[in-house]
Copies of this chain bind each other. A is one copy, B any other.
Amino acid sequence: MNRRYTIQRSLVLDVVKELRRHVTADEVYDMIVKKHPDISRGTVYRNLNLLSDIGEIRKVEMPGGAALYDHLRHDHYHAKCVKCGRVFDVKMEFLTGLENNVKDTQGFVFTGHDIIFKGICRECNT
């Protein structure tokens, strides 16, 4: 289970960290492949998953689309345009402890939650 330093892993982490926004695995791949043409998509996926497992980055799986990865230190929510499918960060206070409002947990142990707002973005609304 020991982890090793590899150029590929480092590149993946750098891309996610440097960008101040969420990115998809494909975007990460596209950015890295410019400078490091040999990297494979599989490696990008493997490292994104590994890095999110160990908490270096955060993975947010999105309904009906590609998962997002980001490096924001605070939790936040997302809004997805039902027309164009693009995803936006939403400025709203994080609902800490929302899990406690569930009436019957049925033995479920909650570890967190995501909220995805639905709507139509400015550009699609004109």
Interface residues of A (CB under 8 A from B): 60-64, 67, 79, 81-82, 88, 90-93, 98-99, 101-104, 106-122, 125
Contact = CB atoms under 8 A, between A and B. Distances in A.
Contact of A92 (B82, B101, B114, B118): B101
B114 A118 contact: yes
24 contacts: A63-B63, A79-B102, A79-B110, A81-B108, A88-B106, A91-B102, A92-B102, A92-B103, A93-B101, A98-B117, A102-B117, A106-B122, A107-B125, A108-B117, A108-B119, A108-B120, A109-B125, A110-B118, A111-B118, A111-B120, A113-B115, A113-B116, A113-B118, A116-B116
Contacts of A117: 98-99, 102, 108, 110, 112-113
5 closest A-B pairs by beta carbon, nearest first, are A107-B122, A61-B63, A61-B64, A110-B119, A91-B103
A94 to B, nearest CB: 11
Given A109-B120, A116-B116, 15 more contacts: A60-B63, A63-B67, A79-B110, A93-B101, A106-B121, A106-B122, A107-B125, A108-B122, A110-B119, A111-B119, A112-B119, A113-B115, A113-B117, A114-B116, A115-B116
